[in-house]
Chain A
Amino acid sequence: MKSGARILVESLHRQGVSTIFGYPGAAVLPIYDELYSSPVRHILVRHEQAAAHAADGYARASGQTGVCLATSGPGACNLVTGIATAYMDSSPVIAITGQVATHLIGNDAFQEADITGITMPVTKHSYLVKRTEDLGGVIMEAFHIAGSGRKGPVLVDIPKDVSMNRISHDPSGDAIHPRGYSPTVNANRRQITRAVDMIANAERPLIYAGGGVIASGASGELLQLAELMMIPVTSTLMGLGCIPGDHPLNLGMLGMHGTAQANYAVTGCDLLIAIGARFDDRVTGKIEAFAPRAQVIHVDIDPAEIGKNREAHLPVVGDCRDVLLHLCSHLQKGKTGDSWQQTIAGWKQQYRPVYGGDGFLHPQDIIRAISDMLGGNSVIVTEVGQHQMWTAQHYCFRSPRQLITSGGLGTMGFGLPAAMGAHYARPEVPVIDISGDGSLQMNIQEFGTIAQYNIPVKIMVMNNMFLGMVRQWQELFHDRRYSFTELPPVDFVRIAEAYGIGGMKVESCDEVVPAVETALSTDGPFLIDFRIEREENVFPMVPAGAAVNEMMGVRRQ
Chain B
Amino acid sequence: MTLHTLSILVEDHPGALSRISGLFSRRGYNIGSLAVGPCESAGLSRITITVTGDDAQVEQVRKQASKLIDVIRVSDMTGTPRVERELALIRVTAGPGAPQAEIMQIAQTFQAAVVDIGSASVLLEVTGDTGKIDATERLLRRYGVRECTRTGKIAARREEKDT
B138 at the interface (CB under 8 A from A): no
Is B68 located at the chain interface by the 8 A CB criterion? yes
A463, CB-defined interface residue at 8 Å: no
At the interface with chain B, which of A1-9, A113-121, A434-442?
A: A113-121
Contact of B69 among A117, A145, A302, A307 (CB under 8 A): A145
Residue B129 lies at the interface, judged by CB distance under 8 Å to chain A:
no
Within 8 A of A (CB), among B52-73: 56, 59-60, 63-64, 66-73
Query: Which among B19, B22, B73 has the highest number of chain A CB atoms within 10 Å?
Result: B19
Q: Which of the residues A117, A145, A179, A180 comes within 8 Å of B18, measured between beta carbons? A: A117
Decide: A178 near B18, CB < 8 A? Known: A304-B63, A307-B59: no
Chain A residues near B18 (CB, 8 Å)? 117, 120
Which residues of chain B from 8 to 32 have a CB within 8 Å of any chain A CB?
10-11, 14-15, 18-19, 22-23, 26
Q: Tell me the number of A-to-B contacts counted with CB atoms below 8 Å.
A: 42
Q: List chain B residues, Cβ under 8 A from A120.
A: 15, 18-19, 22
Closest CB pairs A-B (n = 5) = A304-B63, A125-B69, A180-B72, A180-B71, A181-B69
Q: Give the distance in Å from the alpha carbon of A303 to the alpha carbon of B10 in the complex.
A: 19
User: How would you classify the secondary structure of chain B's contact residues: helix, strand, loop or mixed?
Assistant: helix
Closest-by-CB residue of B relative to A126 is B15
Residues of A within 8 A of B (CB): 116-117, 120-121, 124-125, 128, 145, 178-181, 302-304, 307-308
Q: How far is the CB of B63 from chain A (nearest CB, A)?
A: 4
| Interface residues of B, Cβ cutoff 8 Å to A | 10-11, 14-15, 18-19, 22-23, 26, 56, 59-60, 63-64, 66-73
Residue of B nearest to A304 (CB): B63
CA distance A116 to B72 in the complex (A): 21
Cβ 8 A contact of A121, one of B10, B14, B15, B26: B26
For B10, give its contact among A116, A180, A307, A308 (CB under 8 Å): A180
Output the least CB separation between A125 and chain B (Å): 4
Pairwise interchain contact B11-A180, C-beta atoms closer than 8 A = yes
CA distance A180 to B63 in the complex (A): 13
Closest to B63 in A: A304
Contact A178 B69 (CB under 8 A): yes
Residues of A within 8 A of B63 (CB): 303-304
B14: chain A residues at CB < 8 Å are 128
Residues of chain B contacted by A302 (CB below 8 angstroms): 67
A302 to B15, CA, bound (A): 23
Complex Cα gap A145–B18 (Å): 20
Name 12 extra pairs, CB < 8 A, besides A180-B73, A304-B60.
A120-B18, A120-B19, A121-B23, A125-B68, A128-B15, A178-B11, A180-B69, A181-B69, A303-B66, A307-B56, A307-B59, A308-B60
Q: Identify the closest chain B residue to A180 (Cβ).
A: B72
A-B contact pairs, 11 of them (CB 8 A): A116-B15, A117-B15, A120-B18, A120-B19, A179-B11, A180-B68, A180-B72, A180-B73, A181-B69, A304-B63, A307-B60
Interface centre among A120, A145, A180, A304 (most CB of B within 10 A): A180
CB pair A124 B69 closer than 8 Å: yes
Shortest CB-to-CB span from B20 to chain A, Å, is: 10
Q: Report how far A323 CA is from B84 CA in the complex, Å.
A: 41
**Cα-based distance from A418 to B119 in the complex (angstroms):** 71
How many Å lie between the Cα of A120 and that of B15 in the bound state?
Answer: 10
Establish whether residues B72 and A179, one from each chain, have CB atoms under 8 Å apart when the complex forms.
Answer: yes
Which of A128, A302, A303 has the largest number of chain B CB atoms within 10 A?
A: A303
Q: How far is the CB of B24 from chain A (nearest CB, A)?
A: 12
Cα A501 to Cα B135 in complex, Å, equals: 77
Residue of B nearest to A154 (CB): B69
Q: List, in ascending order, chain B residues with CB within 8 A of A117's CB.
A: 15, 18
A304 and B68 within 8 A (CB)? no
In the bound complex, residues from chain A placing their C-beta under 8 Å from that of B59 are 307
Tell me the smallest distance from the CB of A276 to a CB of chain B, in Å. 16
Q: Please, how many angstroms separate the alpha-carbon atoms of A180 and B60 in the complex?
A: 18
Query: Bound complex: CA of A181 vs CA of B26, how far in Å?
Result: 22
> How far, in whole Å, are A455 and B66 apart by their CA atoms in the complex?
42
Nearest Cβ on chain A to B41's Cβ, whole angstroms: 10
| Residues from chain A with Cβ under 8 Å of B19 in the complex | 120
A180: chain B residues within 8 A (beta carbon):
10-11, 68-73
Contacts of A179 in B (CB 8 A): 11, 72
A-chain residues with CB within 8 Å of residue B23 when the two chains form the complex: 121
Give chain A residues whose Cβ lies under 8 Å from the Cβ of B22.
120-121
Q: How distant is B14 from chain A, measured CB to nearest CB, in Å?
A: 8
* B residues less than 8 Å from A304 (CB atoms): 60, 63-64, 66-67
Whole-angstrom distance between the alpha carbons of A302 and B68 in the complex? 12
